[in-house]
Structures are given as C-alpha cells and as structure tokens.
C-alpha cells in the first residue's frame, strides 16, 4: 500500500502507529480492506514501541500531517477550479490547451510568465527565456 494514496492515508488515520495496528489485530478487527496479505504479515512481524510518550507524540504528528495534507489538497482543488474559471473565457488559454500535454496549470503558467509572446524575436529566444535552450 502506498501511504500517499487515499487508502494509505485512511489506514494511517485508523492506525497511526504499529502499536495501534497490533492492538486492532489482537482485538480481532479486520484490517484486510487496507492491506495485501504480505503487507499485513510484514507489519505483524514488527515490534511495538515501548515508550508511551514517544508513541503519543508520533501518533499526534501523523494525524496532524494527515490533516495538513488534506487541507493542502482541498486548497489545490479550489485553486485549480478558480484558475479554470479564469481561463475559461481566455482565447489564448484555450489555444494553448489545445496542444497535447498542455492543461490548465501549464496554460496559466505560460500566460503569466510569457505574457505577450510577440516580445520574443524567435522561438529560440522564447525557449531561452523559459530555460529550455540556450539563447542564440
């Protein structure tokens, strides 16, 4: 399981430490919806932490970071929607997005960085400005 996936974060929310996971298994809770068999077996072979102070701190930090990730993802979604709304009526943005591989973020970046493309005498000058090639 990848911890940066939604499933991974759900697992960490439920079991923020090896101790929480081992306790759940000892109580007979099913965790197989999160893990593959080999992942579960590997975790069952881990030793629990002995320090309650460190354990409490670790679990708090994991929960805090998970909340932060979710907050940043939500802000990213809102920013992308706002950018999409702003670019909806922009003809240059629409034209840029018609290029394969250029989406909302790339179009917005190009428009904000380059501004007026006519200020570049050649494609080479534009590529140099973007750091994609040395200026001739």
| Helix H or strand E encompassing 2 | none
The structural domains of the chain, with segments of one domain joined by +, span: 1-88, 89-136
Confidence (pTM)? 0.64
Q: Which of 86, 84, 66 is nearest to 76 (CA)?
A: 84
List pLDDT tens digits, range 70-109: 999 999 999 999 999 999 989 989 998 999 988 988 889 8
Contact predicate 18/40, CB 8 Å:
no
* Reduced 3-state DSSP string for 78-97: HHHHHHHHHHCCCHHHHHHH
Token readout for 8 is 């991974």
């Amino acid at each position: 399981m990848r911890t940066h996936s939604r499933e991974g974060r759900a697992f960490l929310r439920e079991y923020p430490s090896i101790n929480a996971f081992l306790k759940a298994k000892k109580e007979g809770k099913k965790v197989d919806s999160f893990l593959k068999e080999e992942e579960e077996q590997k975790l069952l072979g881990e030793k629990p932490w002995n320090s309650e102070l460190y354990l409490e701190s670790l679990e708090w930090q994991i929960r805090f970071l998970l909340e932060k990730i979710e907050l940043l993802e939500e802000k990213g979604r809102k920013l992308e929607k706002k950018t999409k709304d702003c670019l909806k009526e922009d003809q240059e943005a629409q034209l840029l997005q018609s290029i394969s591989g250029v989406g909302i973020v790339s179009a917005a970046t190009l428009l904000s960085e380059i501004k007026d493309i006519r200020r570049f005498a050649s494609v080479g000058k534009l590529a140099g400005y973007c750091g994609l090639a040395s200026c001739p």
